[in-house]
Chains A and B, each alone.
Chain A
C-alpha cells in the first residue's frame, strides 16, 4: 500500500496531505495547528498530524512530494530581478535571502524534519499540483482544467486536459501577467491585506456598480484567443511584493484607500471603492470566461475543473457555469496553495501505480476533537459541561431560539471554508443575529455576507438553480428565491445571492443531523454557517482552540463533540 505525503509551503497557506493506496486519508493546513493565520512555514505539525491520522510512521512513507520546483522558481525570480534592474534594487536582497537561504533547500529540510530518506523526497511543478488537486478529486473522468493563481514557477495561468489518469498541459500565460496578482494589487489598493482580504473585495463588489470597466480595460487587456495581458505600468509586483501596484494605478482610479479606516458605504468615498471592486469583479469574470472558453475549445470537454487561489472567487465560478459552454464544474475546496499538497501527493501516488483517488466525498480530512480532553478542560475552566445523547436536536433547538451556537464536531475541514465541522451556526432569518456576529464576534466589516447551509434535497425550495459539484464545498453562489428573501434575510447578500453549502449526511454528517433536527422542529432546513474563528485567527482545530474561542467571544452555546456548554446569563 504505497503511502505518499504531499507538502505545500513557503509562500502562504502551508499544508500537508497524506494518500495511502491512492486514497486521501488526511489533509491539514499548518495554520490550524500553529495558530498563525496563513502560516507559510514548513508544515511539520500538519505532516505529523496526517501521519498520526493515517496510523503510519514517517519511515513508512514511499514518497514525500513538494508542490513546486525550487530551482525553476529561483530561475524566474532571478530573471525578473535582472529584467527590472535597477527598479528591483530594494527587492533584490530580500528575494535572494528568501530563495537561497530557505526555499532552495526545501527538499533537504523536509527529509531532515520528517526523518525520511532524502531519495524519497521529490518535487512537481506548481501548476501541475494545482491541476491534479482539482481534476483527480473531481467527479469527472474527462475535463478541461484551468489553473489561475498569483504565480507558480513561471506560469500564472495554465490550461490542461484531464482524461482518466492523464493530465496534459496545453498552454500557459507566464508571470508577470497574472490575474491573481491583478486581484492582489486591487486588494492592496482598497486597503486590505493581500492574501487575506481577497474575500472582502469579492463581498464588497456586490455593493458597487462596475462603472470603471473602461479603466480596467486599460489595466488588463483581454484578447479574443482567451489570453490576457496586464499593462505593467500600473503594477509593481515585479519589484515590490508588498504593495503590487504603482502610482499610475492611483492616477487612473484615484488615491488608494488607507488601511484600517471604518467602511461607510453610504459615503461617496467608499461607494467609489465599492465601484472599483465591482469593476474588478466584472473584469475578472470576463477574463475567466475567456480562459474557460479557450480550454473547452482545446479539449472538447464540457466539464471544468478550476484551481488556484482565483478559483475561490465563488461569484465568478457561478457565472462561469452559467455562461461558459459547460455542463458541470468543480473547484477543489482548498483551491489555493494548500490544495497543491493534495495534487502533488496524487501525482506521485499515480506514478507508484495506485488507483485514482476518486471524487472527494468530504472535506473533513483533519483531526477530530478529543472528547475526554474537552470534558476535562471544560470542567477545569468551570464551564459546567453537559454530555448530550442527542446533540443535533439540542443544537437545533438553540438555533431555533435565536442562539448563536459554536459547533465543533467531527474531523476538521480542509480548505478555507467552514463546512459544519468548525462553524458558528445561527438562525438564517434574523438580521440582528447577523449584525451581532459581524460586530461583536467576528469584528469584521458590515458589508461582508454570511453563508447558508441547506439540506441538498431542499435546495430548489430556497434557491434558483440546482446542486452541482461545487455546492457541497461552498465554492459557488446561487440566487435566493425572491419569496425566501425574508426567511433567509441574514444570509442574503446585497445582490440577492448567497454562497451556499448543500449538505448531505455523507459529506457533513453532523451538520446534516442539525438540519434534520430543525426540520423535525418545523423550521426551515437552513442555517447561517460561518467559520469558527476570532478576528485574524485561523479556524479552530482542537478542543483547546474551541474553548479558548468560547472564553473570548460572546457566543451563546458551544457543542464540542457531544459536550454542551451554555454561557451563564448575567445576574
Chain B
C-alpha cells in the first residue's frame, strides 16, 4: 500500500468526523483545484501545440468546476453546522509551466493527478462505509475527471518525451522534485517559526525607542506643506 493511501486511511476518521474539519478540508481542496485551474490555463497559453492547449483548457475547465463543487459543499456544511462560511477562493500559483518546461510540467501534473485519485478513492470508501452519500457523490464526480486527467497527461507525456520509458523516468523525477519541494517547505516552516521568535525579541528591544519616536516623530494631522518640487 502506498504511503498516500495508508496516511489517508489512517486519518480519514479524524479528518472527516468534525464538521469544522470537513469545511476546512473541502475549502483546501477548492483552493487547490482553483490554483490548478490557473496553472492549466497558463499551460494552454504557453504550449506551442493547439491540440495540447485545447486539452489543457478542458482540464482547466474541470478544475474550475471541481473548485466550485468543493466550495459549494463546504459552504453547505458550514451553513447547516452554523459555522463561519469559508472565504472566497484567492489563488496563488508557482507558475509551474514557466518553471519546469512542458515535459516536466506534464509529469508533475500526471503524478499529482494519480496521487489525488488514490487519496480520493480512500475518501470514497470511508464515505460509503459511513453513509455520507452527498460527500461520496461529490468525490465520485471529481474522480471520474481525475482518472481522465491521469490518462491524457500520460499519453501526452509519452508523445513529448519520445517513449514510455522516458515518460516513466519523467514521472520519477517529478516524484523526487515534489519530495524535495516538500522538504524545503518544511524547512521554511521551521525557519519562519524561528524568524518570528527572533523578530519579537527585536520588537521588545524597540521599546527603548518608543518614547523618543513618539516625541520626535509623532503622527501628523491635517495639512502638511511639502517643499515645492518642480518637474
Contact = CB atoms under 8 A, between A and B. Distances in A.
B41 A544 contact: yes
B230 A96 contact: no
B170 to A, nearest CB: 24
A356 B220 CA distance: 35
A177 B50 CA distance: 53
B19 interface: no
Interface residues of A, number: 60
A97 interface: yes
Interface in B190-210: 195-196, 199-200, 202-203, 206-207, 209-210
Contact of A171 (B41, B221, B226): B226
A551 B61 contact: yes
A169 B229 CA distance: 6
Interface string B72-109: 00010000000011111111110100000000000000
A377 B53 contact: yes
Interface residues of B, number: 54
Given A172-B226, A377-B54, A544-B57, A229 B210 contact: no
A261 B84 CA distance: 9
A347 B230 CA distance: 11
Nearest to A541: B45
Contact of B53 (A351, A380, A552): A380
A176 B93 contact: no
Most buried by A among B84, B213, B222: B222
A225 B223 contact: yes
A495 to B, nearest CB: 27
Contacts of B130: none
A193 B88 CA distance: 9
A351 B228 CA distance: 17
A17 B190 CA distance: 39
A280 to B, nearest CB: 21
Interface in A336-391: 347, 350-351, 373, 376-377, 379-381
A93 B196 contact: yes
B68 to A, nearest CB: 9
B25 interface: no
A171 B221 CA distance: 12
B217 interface: yes
Contact of A259 (B87, B95, B224): B87
Contact of A174 (B45, B61, B214, B219): B219
Contacts of A440: none
A93 B195 CA distance: 8
A553 to B, nearest CB: 10
B58 interface: yes
Nearest to B218: A83
Contacts of B95: 34
A89 interface: yes
A551 B203 contact: no
B23 to A, nearest CB: 11
Given A83-B219, A92-B200, A377-B53, A545 B228 contact: no
Contact of B223 (A166, A173, A175, A347): A173
Interface in A80-99: 80-83, 85-86, 89, 92-93, 96-97
B38 interface: yes
Contact of A380 (B51, B88, B222): B51
B38 A82 contact: no
Contacts of A35: 38, 41-42, 93
Nearest to B206: A82
A243 to B, nearest CB: 13
B228 A169 contact: yes
B44 interface: yes
A97 B93 CA distance: 20
A547 interface: yes
Contact of A547 (B51, B57, B230, B231): B57
A465 interface: no
A536 interface: yes
Contact of B220 (A86, A128, A167, A174): A174
Contact of A261 (B61, B85, B219): B85
A485 interface: no
B60 interface: yes
Given A83-B214, A97-B195, A548 B228 contact: no
Interface string A153-184: 00100000000011111111111110000000
A227 interface: yes
Contact of A96 (B199, B210, B214): B199
Nearest to B87: A259
A248 interface: no
B64 interface: yes
A544 B44 contact: yes
Contacts of B41: 35, 544-545, 548
Nearest to B78: A260
Nearest to A551: B61
Contact of A260 (B57, B60, B87): B87
A72 interface: no
B216 to A, nearest CB: 10
B85 A82 contact: no
Given A171-B224, A229-B221, A36 B44 contact: no
Contact of A545 (B45, B93, B207, B229): B45
Contact of B228 (A155, A168, A347): A168
Interface string A541-570: 010110110011000000000000000000
B154 to A, nearest CB: 19
Nearest to A35: B38
Contacts of B224: 155, 171-174
Nearest to B98: A45
Interface string B33-57: 0100010011011000011011001
Contacts of B92: 36
A133 B45 CA distance: 31
A165 B231 contact: yes
Contacts of A347: 231
Contact of B60 (A37, A89, A168, A548): A548
A269 interface: no
Given A93-B200, A170-B225, A544-B45, 18 more contacts: A34-B95, A37-B91, A79-B213, A82-B214, A83-B210, A93-B196, A169-B226, A169-B228, A225-B222, A259-B87, A377-B54, A536-B34, A542-B45, A544-B44, A545-B41, A548-B61, A551-B57, A552-B64
Interface of B: 34, 38, 41-42, 44-45, 50-51, 53-54, 57-58, 60-61, 64-65, 75, 84-93, 95, 195-196, 199-200, 202-203, 206-207, 209-210, 213-214, 217-226, 228-231
10 contacts: A37-B91, A128-B231, A170-B225, A173-B224, A193-B88, A227-B222, A347-B231, A544-B44, A544-B57, A545-B45
Which 10 pairs between the two chains have the least Cβ-Cβ distance?
Answer: A260-B85, A380-B54, A376-B50, A93-B199, A227-B222, A544-B45, A544-B44, A82-B213, A380-B50, A171-B223
